[in-house]
Chains A and B, each alone.
Chain A
Amino acid sequence: MQDSTPFSFTLVITGAPYSSQAPQSALSFAAAAIRAGHRVDRVFLYGDGVQLASALASPPSDEPHWPREWSSFLEKHGIPGVACIASALRRGLVDEGEQKRYELTASNLLAPFTIAGLGEWVEGRMSSSRTVYFHGSD
């Protein structure tokens, strides 16, 4: 018996692309959730997961470009993608605002990802019907 009640998901990715499978698994899960008629409220990148939002990742051309695949998926479905600011700044991932604030030489945040605090995760935890985490496997 199929339960047809739509659910809403917050997905949290803590594993980095190219050092873990987490962003791939999360993308497959998100696509399946949408196909099943559910909603993905937001994707929150935490810890090493923030590297998924780097505009500077340049994998070999015969490998999937996971940051771009995620970026186009988020844009296509209008899903907010948020990188945790504390995780991002420590790991050298900044938007233009943070670039100016810290007087850095460049910014590297891939649109449509934004940078925000853990409050975004707390909000997702409270408002989505399920929060599912995708960790690295080391």
Chain B
Amino acid sequence: MTEIQTLHILNKSPEHPRFARCLSMAGPEDGILLIENGVLGLGAASARASGKLMVLAPDMAARGVNGGAESAEIIDYERMVELTTRAQQVISW
């Protein structure tokens, strides 16, 4: 498994200013995990994220989001915990 420098946990919808800022500040060595309203930005993030993109399955399912996930890893909470232990730093946006 590749290590990630910073894990960005992004729970904002793509309309929120923090969504674009997170994408622009995440580097190629980073991971971006979309949770809560953030899963609504899966398409936007797929096109623009430079780091590894992940999305939290229960939040996707809750919102009926299933498209745009081809370039993202769909994960559960167990995997989210594992990612936080492997990243050098965790930033919640």
User: Measuring CB to CB, which residues of chain A are less than 8 angstroms from any residue of chain B?
Assistant: 1, 3, 5, 7, 9, 21-22, 25, 28-29, 31-33, 35-36, 38, 129-135, 137-138
Contact A133 B92 (CB under 8 A): yes
Listed stretches B23-31, B43-51, B65-73, B77-85; interface member: B77-85
**B-chain residues with CB within 8 Å of residue A7 when the two chains form the complex:** 84-85
A-B contact count (CB 8 A): 57
Task: Give the total of B residues in contact with A, Cβ under 8 Å.
Answer: 23
CA distance A7 to B81 in the complex (A): 10
Known contacts A3-B86, A25-B35; 17 further A-B pairs (Cβ under 8 A): A5-B85, A7-B84, A21-B36, A25-B36, A28-B58, A29-B81, A31-B77, A32-B76, A32-B78, A33-B81, A38-B85, A130-B85, A131-B90, A133-B9, A134-B11, A137-B13, A137-B16
Q: Does B52 contact A (CB under 8 A)?
A: no
Report the minimum CB–CB distance from B33 to chain A (whole Å). Answer: 11
CB-CB nearest in chain A for B78: A32
Q: Does B61 contact A (CB under 8 A)?
A: no
**B-chain residues with CB within 8 Å of residue A33 when the two chains form the complex:** 81
CA distance A132 to B11 in the complex (A): 13
Contact B84 A132 (CB under 8 A): yes
Report the minimum CB–CB distance from B6 to chain A (whole Å). Answer: 12
**B-chain residues with CB within 8 Å of residue A5 when the two chains form the complex:** 85
User: Measuring CB to CB, which residues of chain B are less than 8 angstroms from any residue of chain A?
Assistant: 1, 9, 11-13, 16, 35-38, 58, 76-78, 80-82, 84-86, 90, 92-93
| 16 A-B pairs whose Cβ atoms sit less than 8 Å apart in the complex | A3-B85, A5-B85, A7-B84, A21-B36, A25-B11, A28-B58, A28-B77, A29-B77, A29-B80, A32-B77, A36-B81, A131-B90, A132-B9, A137-B36, A137-B38, A138-B16
Report the minimum CB–CB distance from A62 to chain B (whole Å). Answer: 17
Contact A134 B84 (CB under 8 A): no
Report the minimum CB–CB distance from B23 to chain A (whole Å). Answer: 16
Report the minimum CB–CB distance from A51 to chain B (whole Å). Answer: 18
**B-chain residues with CB within 8 Å of residue A130 when the two chains form the complex:** 84-85, 90
**A-chain residues with CB within 8 Å of residue B58 when the two chains form the complex:** 28
Report the minimum CB–CB distance from B53 to chain A (whole Å). Answer: 18
